[in-house]
Amino acid sequence: MTQLFETTKGLTDKAMHYCPGCAHGIIHRLVGEVLVELGVLGKTIGVAPVGCSVLAYDYFNCDMHEAAHGRAPAVGTGVKRMLPDNVVFTYQGDGDLASIGAAEIVHAAHRGEKITTIFVNNAIYGMTGGQMAPTTLIGQKATTSPYGRDEALTGKPLKVCEMLATIDGAVFVERVTVHNVAGIRKTKKAIKKAFQVQLDGKGFGIVEILSTCPTGWGQTPVESCVWLEENMISYYPLGNFRTPEEAK
Amino acid sequence: MATEKIIMAGFGGQGIMSMGQLLTYAGMIEDKQVSWSPSYGPEMRGGTANCSVIVSDSLIGSPIINNDATASVVMNLPSLLKFEKQVIKGGNLVVNSSLIEKKAERKDLNVYYVAANEIATEIGNNKVANMVILGAYIELTKIVSQESIVEAMKKVFGPSKQHLVELNKEALKCGAKEV
Amino acid sequence: MDKVLMKGNEAIAEAAIKAGCDCFFGYPITPQNEVPEYMAKHMAKSGGVFIQAESEVAAINMVYGASGAGFRVMTSTSSPGMALKQEGISYLVGAELPAVIVNISRGGPGLGSIQSSQSDYFQVTRGGGNGDYRIIVFAPSSIQEAVDLTAKAFDLADYYRNPVIVLGDGMIGQMMEPVEFYLTKNRTLPTKDWATTGTNGERKPNIINSLALVSEDLERHNYKLQKKYDEMEEKEVMYETHKMQGAEIVLVAYGTTSRITKNAIDSLRESGIKAGLIRPITLWPFPNKAFNEIPKPAKSILVVEMSMGQMIDDVRIANEGRLPIHFHGRPGGMIPTPEEIVEKAKEIVGGAK
């Protein structure tokens, strides 16, 4: 019998807890595959966030830290500075990274920490039950913006890639999406480049991945992919914001 | 000598802290019990500076001097106004008369006026005024020897500043002659 | 080794380096700045890592990362900064990570002052972090003791896989005294086979974690932690008694205040009042034992603190209702004088007769 498919060694066999239609599973797999393909899984230490991916430490098949909300870049800094020859990544959502962890991500980039951040932006707080995030779109309903996000009260959504691209230490900054197959392929390429930048010792790298939250958005998985394409990409343009010369 | 409690005070840049540290270090070299505590905080940024030094034959309890100084060494007017009153009856008050025109008010102290800055300038560097006045103070009380202060300098001054030891030694001697 | 004259903050930093501290993460705050400054200067020379973090919150989380990777790590701060570190401290305990945390405390509440104070007693012994946890707290009263206890803190942290706090008031941080550094005899320490150093494909992943969503699991984890706290209470209590023989009044004080109290005790004894001192060296575990051994003639206890009386609760527990407890304290960065303490003690003794 010919084996047509196998799961990546970069992930454990543990069944994931994510909701149906959630893209965390896809993104986990892409990260796991990249770590295996780069041959660095055995020297990788990941840092999981608080949020839906809080249990990521059970899914990645490498040493893991579970960090406090938003602090993953600081925890990653502590690990990487002590183990400079190892590979360190943080896996964070938008509430974790763009809100409570805004200082930590900015300063990890500012110091040029040689770590890689996988930033999953689904425009909402998923785990706590669908509250408004800094990335929630104007007019988007969330449990703490029941009438739709109002710019007058809460400002405009935070564009993390654009912000970090102003920081010299952030040498690789790219926004991608996983709502369709082409996007998933590009996402894997971006993740690989970001880790390669770390392996080359260039500095801080982040891949922002636009993702869906069918449960939090109150949509079917298919509807959510359409909603992402129609609403998120126009506000959060895809593309590369920063690449070191050699990696282009 | 049982216990000497000295307040040293002046403005930032007069070498108050280092004068106190050298005295403390010298006490340690002579196997005495010593402590040095600074005033710290915003007043250190160019304002007044003072430190408390205790040199004793017995274990030091509180490192804090609280109206029980055996001596005050004051390098500027605000320090005289503040620390004259903290000296115990019969204690010593050493005043830098180069910068303080006012005379001490208390009659129950042994007051010494030393023109520390003039003397320092005469021997070559205004900056060693602190050593002039320290020389005067240790001559008065003999709590440590001049040699111990010089030995302390050799340890405290970095390699690049060893050439300054001779000048500072000279300043101590000149100060000692003033009392 | 010869004695050297050092500032408390610098001596603590040097003691840490000599104890094998691999890395330091901190943030500027008075009156502890000489600790990170000394580390910045000397860590590079000793091959260690120094980072000035963006905040105390980030610093304690860098501690979490480095400790999880298996390294000896320290951070230092002062009172308001300690408040910010509480989040990370709770996580360190939960994930069973060793770390040494130095708090050179200052007056509060709020931004307070930068002068010496002891109003962090609650914060360090009760903690501001969430969850059932305990931390050994050392309260040195001299620079030499600060040095010795800092070295010991690293060993205890590794032994128990729990943070250890060294609490100095601003006076301990800022004053200079002669110190000697000598290697303490290390206790046998467990290997850090739990550290995240990469699996190399040779073992199952190591996970540093304080999350346990199943209540039964978290309960078991808490029982496990409690066993460690029980062992600490049994083995790690440290205190000093001073002139306790025949004491009619027992003073209780720690840190700088205990030194002032010793001066007061001398004056009291000169005027015919037999006073003694219990000085807790570990604030947690608290030296309850010392209170069981208070001699018969003692009629009262006087607690002296640079606060409004945060240690009184522990003294009450240790005293078990035997003697009346009095208090004298100066908050806000003021330091009690021996005269004040003598006066208060005389008032108590007089009143008791």
Long-range contacts of A182-188 (CB under 8 A, 24+ apart): A183/A238, A184/A26, A184/A30, A186/A238, A187/A27, A187/A30, A188/A30, A188/A33, A188/A34
Q: How many domains does chain A have?
A: 1
**Which of the four pLDDT bands, split at 50, 70 and 90, describes residue C352?**
very low
Alpha carbon distances (Å) from B47 to B28, B39, B68, B78, C142: 29, 11, 24, 10, 28
**Which of the four pLDDT bands, split at 50, 70 and 90, describes residue B1?**
low
Please report, rounded to a whole number, the percentage of residues in chain B having pLDDT higher than 90: 83
Q: Is residue A8 part of a domain?
A: no
Alpha carbon distances (Å) from A178 to A25, A99, B97: 11, 22, 80
Q: B34, C262: Cβ pair inside 8 Å?
A: no
Question: For C117-131, what is each residue's pLDDT tens digit?
Answer: 999 999 999 988 999
Does B have 3 or more CB contacts under 8 Å with A? no
**Which of the four pLDDT bands, split at 50, 70 and 90, describes residue A33?**
very high
Q: Is residue A17 part of a domain?
A: no
Chains that touch A (3 or more CB pairs under 8 A): C
Nearest chain C residue (CA) to B43: C114
Average pLDDT, chain B: 93
Measured distance CA(C291)–CA(C309) in Å, rounded:
18
C262: which chain B residues are within 8 Å (Cβ-Cβ)?
A: 61-62
Q: Is residue A162 part of a domain?
A: yes
Q: Provide φ and ψ at A183, rounded to 5°.
A: -65, -40
Mean of pLDDT values over C315-325 = 98
Looking at per-residue pLDDT, the higher value among A122 and B159 belongs to A122
Interface test with C, best of A62, A63, A105 (most C CBs within 10 A): A63
Q: B64, C335: Cβ pair inside 8 Å?
A: yes
The interface residues of chain B toward chain C in range 5-44, judged by CB-CB distance below 8 A, are 21, 24-25, 28, 34-38, 40-41
Domains of chain B by range and CATH? 3-176 (3.40.920.10)
- Locate A170 and state its tokens: 């952030």
Torsion sign across C-alpha atoms C104, B20, B11, B169: negative
Q: Is residue A186 part of a domain?
A: yes
B61 inside 8 A of chain C by CB: yes
**Which of the four pLDDT bands, split at 50, 70 and 90, describes residue C44?**
confident
Q: Is the pLDDT of residue B152 over 80?
A: yes
ipTM value > 0.90? yes
C66 inside 8 A of chain A by CB: yes
Measured distance CA(A80)–CA(A75) in Å, rounded:
9
B36 within 8 A of B24, measured Cβ to Cβ: yes
Nearest C-alpha of chain A: how many angstroms from C159? 21
User: Buried b / exposed e across C241-258, counting CB within 10 Å, b at 16+?
Assistant: bbbbeebbbbbbbbbbbb
CA angle B95, B99, B102 (to 5 degrees): 65
Note the pLDDT of residue B45: 52
- Which one of C54, C65, C206 has the shortest CB-CB distance to A76? C65
* DSSP state string for C56-93: HHHHHHHHHHHHHTT--EEEEE-HHHHHHHHHHHHHHH
Domains of chain C by range and CATH? 4-235 (3.40.50.970), 241-352 (3.40.50.920)
C90 within 8 A of C129, measured Cβ to Cβ: yes
CATH code for the domain of A219: 3.40.50.970
Q: Is residue A99 part of a domain?
A: yes
Q: Which residue has the tokens 């807790």?
A: C280
Question: For C232-281, what is each residue's pLDDT tens digit?
Answer: 999 999 999 999 999 999 999 999 999 999 999 999 999 999 999 999 99
**Which of the four pLDDT bands, split at 50, 70 and 90, describes residue C91?**
very high
Q: Which domain holds residue A113?
A: 24-243
CA atoms within 13 A on the CB side of B60: 29
Nearest C-alpha of chain C: how many angstroms from A62? 5
Q: C177, B25: Cβ pair inside 8 Å?
A: no
- Locate C67 and state its tokens: 């400790």
Q: Is residue A7 part of a domain?
A: no
Please report, rounded to a whole number, the percentage of residues in chain A having pLDDT higher than 90: 96
Question: For B36-90, what is each residue's pLDDT tens digit?
Answer: 999 865 545 556 789 999 999 998 989 999 899 999 999 999 999 999 999 999 9
C138 inside 8 A of chain A by CB: no
The bridge status of strand C163-169 relative to strand C176-179 is: unpaired
Q: Provide φ and ψ at A218, rounded to 5°.
A: 70, 40
C352 within 8 A of C325, measured Cβ to Cβ: no
Q: Is residue A49 part of a domain?
A: yes
- Locate C126 and state its tokens: 């009760």
Question: For A78-97, what is each residue's pLDDT tens digit?
Answer: 999 999 999 999 999 999 99
Please report, rounded to a whole number, the percentage of residues in chain C having pLDDT higher than 90: 93
- Which one of B21, B35, B62 has the shortest CB-CB distance to C338? B62
Question: For C14-40, what is each residue's pLDDT tens digit?
Answer: 999 999 999 999 999 999 999 999 999
Note the pLDDT of residue C353: 45
Measured distance CA(A43)–CA(C206) in Å, rounded:
12
CA angle C108, C112, C117 (to 5 degrees): 50
Question: For C138-192, what is each residue's pLDDT tens digit?
Answer: 999 999 999 999 999 999 999 999 999 999 999 999 999 999 998 776 689 999 9
Smallest CA-to-CA distance from A109 within A124, A134, A133, A90 is with: A90
Q: Is the pLDDT of residue C1 over 90?
A: no
C58 inside 8 A of chain A by CB: yes
The DSSP bridge partners found for residue C49 are C23
Q: C202, A66: Cβ pair inside 8 Å?
A: no
C71: which chain A residues are within 8 Å (Cβ-Cβ)?
A: 82
